[in-house]
Amino acid sequence: MRRIRTQLAVAALATLLLPTLTHAAGYSIYEQGAAALGMAGAATASVNDASAVFFNPAAMTRLEGTRIYVGASALQPVTKFTGQAPYPGAAGSADMVRQTFYPPTIYATHSWKKGYAVGVGFNSPFGLGVEWDPASFLGSYLVTKADLKGLNASLCLAYAPNEKWSFAAGGDMMMAKVGLKNQAYMNLGPYTGGALGTTHVADVELASDYTPAPGWNAAVLFTPQPEWKLGAYYRSKVVVHVDEGTADFTNIPTGIPSLDAVLAGRLKDQGVSTVLRFPAMWSAGAAWNPKPEWTVEADFNFHEWKVFSDLPIDFASDQTPDKKKVENYSNAWQARTGAEYRRGCLAYRAGYYFDKSPAPVNAVTPLLPDADRHGVTVGLGWSLGTDKRWTLDVYELAIFAAPRVGVALEELPAPRATFTGEYKTFVNAVGLGLGYRW
């Protein structure tokens, strides 16, 4: 009985839930403003619309009057997995089910002539969505479907003591929600004299409601000369304590009545809790205006992903031992550069960025096949109306992830214990933003 209990706890719970929560928290979304994304997100110093609430709140003092900016992106990832030995081998190759995700953005700012400004924003800076066909994917014990939504609300205040300096600070409220579907497997050989091997014994679903947690941000903007702007901001880490998650099991009979009775007692619906840690982020940028119609910017972003050293999982049932999975993420960085050319009522934009992956090889799994990424963007902006109060921005982004081999280490019998293969990912993103000022 104790052997069954231990094996079920490891094979059916820990290996299924832990990777999902960990990798979901390791996925950030920088598509937070269509004008800025036309320049590959290089906007820490030059942002000039209400998306400054995200890219640099200190720039709000340079935005006259009241401004609103709303938009959304459509993200379409395409991932192909090629299996390698020892498991699942080439026969386990598969394509991820294609999906489209629509992270929203809403910002509003207001400035006063005395140098004060305020801004509010609502966006989705973290998220994850993957789906593999459970009928054919040999990694279904890792994940068949996962969905994480991270929604953030911000309130920022800014003050400019003079024309050269501007400072800002504010608070954030992150709300995270996670869901997972996968399949529990167990080695039945020890209980059937070797007649049965590793067998699918249950469908598992993990879910939680939105759980809030606070954070804060600070920013600065310096204009030493009219043609130069230097900007920087910091966004704190956010720790979300998920205390009311649920783990639901649909048992699948093995054909052995005594064993099925034990499985029904162990694989039962119960509560589960964990801690999700979203990393702090630093950004610094320099913008240059060589001519009135040109803006060129380069940014460097630094994410403190090292906060994901491990992930604890606590189960409500005393019969299920708590677990802690070691992840050993590393801090990571991004380099972004972009340019904008303005002529008449149109603005032409282009940019490139490199995004360094924080995940070690054992954290590259079907849940999040993370890798170094190259992004290339183009964008277009229109000033509309007789008084140019309206702006419409669109962008197109192509993300090329470097091919990467991952080894998902799990406490399962060989060869499933090392799910190995190469992941190739491409992401197409398009977005638009609509702004109005008065």
Determine the structural domain holding residue 123 and report its residue range: 2-437
Per-residue pLDDT for 214 more than 70? Answer: yes
Tokens of 134: 């459970």
Nearest in space to 348 (alpha carbons), one of 316, 314, 381, 322: 381
Q: Please state, in angstroms and rounded to a whole number, the distance separating the CA atoms of residues 283 and 250.
A: 46
209: left (phi over 0), alpha (psi -120 to 50) or beta: beta
pLDDT of residue 195: 67
pLDDT of residue 56: 98
pLDDT of residue 172: 97
Distance of CA 58 to the CA centre of its chain: 25
Split at pLDDT 50, 70, 90, the class of 88 is very high
DSSP tag of 423:
E
Split at pLDDT 50, 70, 90, the class of 371 is very high
Give the whole-number percent of the chain exceeding pLDDT 70. Answer: 92
Residue-wise pLDDT tens digits, 74-86: 999 999 999 999 9
Cα-trace Rg, the chain: 24
Q: Please state, in angstroms and rounded to a whole number, the distance separating the CA atoms of residues 37 and 69.
A: 14
Residue-wise pLDDT tens digits, 28-59: 888 899 999 999 999 999 999 999 999 999 99
54 and 33 in contact (C-beta within 8 Å)? yes
Split at pLDDT 50, 70, 90, the class of 386 is confident
Mean predicted confidence (pLDDT) in 392-407: 96
Most confident range (mean pLDDT) of 205-214, 315-324, 411-420 is: 205-214
**Side-chain half-sphere exposure of 292, counting CA atoms within 13 A:** 2
Mean predicted confidence (pLDDT) in 306-321: 77
Burial 123-136 (b: 16+ CB within 10 A, else e): bbbbbbbbbbebee
Q: Give the domain CATH number at 323.
A: 2.40.160.60
pLDDT of residue 326: 67
pLDDT of residue 23: 32
Between 302 and 409, where is the model more confident? 302
Nearest in space to 168 (alpha carbons), one of 99, 234, 122, 230: 234
pLDDT of residue 14: 38
Residue-wise pLDDT tens digits, 94-109: 999 999 999 999 999 9
Tokens of 44: 């820490």
Residue-wise pLDDT tens digits, 129-153: 899 999 999 999 889 998 888 899 9
Split at pLDDT 50, 70, 90, the class of 13 is very low
pLDDT of residue 293: 96
Residue-wise pLDDT tens digits, 408-437: 887 777 788 899 999 999 999 999 999 999
Tokens 């209990």 identify what position? 5
Sign of the CA dihedral with 67 first, then 436, 107, and 399 last: negative
Between 365 and 67, where is the model more confident? 67
Nearest in space to 376 (alpha carbons), one of 349, 403, 357: 349
Supply the pTM of this predicted model.
0.88
Per-residue pLDDT for 200 more than 60? Answer: yes
Residue-wise pLDDT tens digits, 239-249: 999 888 988 88
CA distances from 72 to 9, 34, 101, 390 (A): 41, 8, 10, 17
Tokens of 114: 């005395």
pLDDT of residue 321: 64
- Domains contained in the chain, number: 1
Per-residue pLDDT for 24 more than 70? Answer: no
